[in-house]
Amino acid sequence: MATNQSPDSEPPPTETVSTDGGLPAETTESTEPTLQRWTKSEFVRSLPFWLPATLLVGLFIYGAIGWNFIISLTDWQGLRRVTYNPAEFDLDNYFEFFSKVVEGGLLGGPQEYWAFRNTFVLLILFTVVALIVGLLLALLVDQKIRFENSFRTIFLLPMSLSFVVTAVFWAWMYNPSSGMINEGLRLVGLGAITQNWISDPQFKLFAVIFALIWQFSGYCMVVYLAGLRAIPTDQYEAAKVDGANTLKMYWRVIIPQLRASTTSAAVVLMVFALKAFDFLFVMFGTQPGRSADILALMMYREAFDGTANWAYASAIATILFVLALGIISPYLYRQYKRGAL
C-alpha cells in the first residue's frame, strides 16, 4: 500500500497523532497546517467531489455486501422469487456449512470441508512462498546489477497477464505428455518424477499454487525492492564494520527492517489468494474435485452453475468476506494509526 516506500527505519510519526483521541481529520490537518483556517462550509463545498464516488461505492460494494448477508439469512433457491421476511431469517445456511466442514474433517466426506481446508492451504502456502521468492529476487536484483530494469520488467511481467491467460499457459505447461514441465524433467534425467500434475489429486492444488507463485512473486519483489532502497546505506556499512558477513548482515540488519513491506505484500497476496477464482475456473471448470476446490469456486458453483442455491452461496460469500475482513482490518487500522492512509 502507500507505505511500501516508507520502511520501519523512519521514526514512527504515529503516536503523536493517535494520542489526541484519534479524531479522523487529524491525519490530514497535521499534513496541511496552512489549511486549518478553512471554514466549516468547506465540508459542504467539497461534497460534489467525493460524494458521488462514495455513494457509488457505498451502493455497489457495501450495499451489496449487506444485501448478500440478508440473502444468506433466507432460504432462497432455484427459480422462486426471493422473499425477505424478517420473521423467517435464520442462520441455517451457516450452520449447514460449518456442520459439513466439521463432518468432513472427521469423516472426509462433504465438499465444504475440502473447499474450506484448501482455501487455507492455498492462502498460507501461496503467501509464504511467494514472499520468500519475492524477497530472494529483490535481494538479487538489489546487487547493483546491469540491466536492472530489464530484470525487473521480466519478473513483474506475469502480473500484467489475466488469470485466464496464465491458466491457459499453465494447463499446457503441466500437460503430462508434452508439457514443458515434464519435458524439462525428462531433459535433465528426472523422467522418473514426471507426473500428471493437474489431474492427480495429490498434486493438483500444489500445481495451482506453483503457478500462482510464478505470477505474483514479481509483485513481492517490487514491494521488497522499494523497502530495500529505503534502508539508509550507512546501515549496510555499519554492519560491515561490525564484521558481520554478508549473510549475517542480511539476516540481522536488513531483513528485520523489511517488516512493513512484508506486511503490506502479505495482505495483498492473501486477498489475491481468496480471489484466485478465475485461475481455477479456467483450469478446472466448476468441478475441480475435492483436492483443488476452494471457497471462491464453491460459492460460484452453488449460485451460478445451474444449482441456484442462492442463499447458501451467499452464506459462503459472507464467510469469504469475513475472512478478507479479518486479514485487512488489523492492517488498515494500523495504517490509519500510523497516519499512512
Show contacts with other proteins in window 96-125 (CB under 8 A).
Answer: none
The rounded distance, in Å, linking the Cα atoms of 81 and 74 is: 11
Q: Which of 134, 158, 118 has its CA nearest to residue 269?
A: 134
Q: CB under 8 A: which stretch of 43-51, 89-97, 99-107, 110-118 binds other proteins? A: 43-51
Judged by CB under 8 A, does residue 130 bind other proteins? no
Query: Using CB under 8 A, which of 9, 10, 56, 88 touches other proteins?
Result: 56
If you ran DSSP here, which 8-state letter would residue 10 be given?
S
Query: Using CB under 8 A, which of 102, 121, 125, 156 touches other proteins?
Result: 156
Query: Using CB under 8 A, which of 179, 207, 230, 280 touches other proteins?
Result: 179
Q: CB under 8 A: which stretch of 86-94, 95-103, 106-114, 323-331 binds other proteins? A: 323-331
We find the least distance from the C-beta atom of residue 162 to other proteins, in angstroms, to be 3
252 grid coordinates: 540481522
Judged by CB under 8 A, does residue 161 bind other proteins? yes
Are 215 and 159 spatial neighbours (Cβ–Cβ below 8 Å)?
A: yes
Residue type, 8: D
Residue with cell 433457491: 77
315 grid coordinates: 452464506
Query: Using CB under 8 A, which of 137, 212, 254, 280 touches other proteins?
Result: 137
Judged by CB under 8 A, does residue 2 bind other proteins? yes
Contacts with other proteins, 187-216, as mask; x by CB under 8 A: x--------------------------x--
Helix boundaries (H) for the chain? 14-19, 26-31, 41-57, 64-73, 92-107, 111-141, 148-156, 163-173, 180-187, 204-229, 233-241, 246-249, 259-275, 277-284, 295-304, 310-337
Nearer to other proteins among residue 1 and residue 121 (C-beta): 1
Query: Using CB under 8 A, which of 60, 95, 120, 251 touches other proteins?
Result: 60
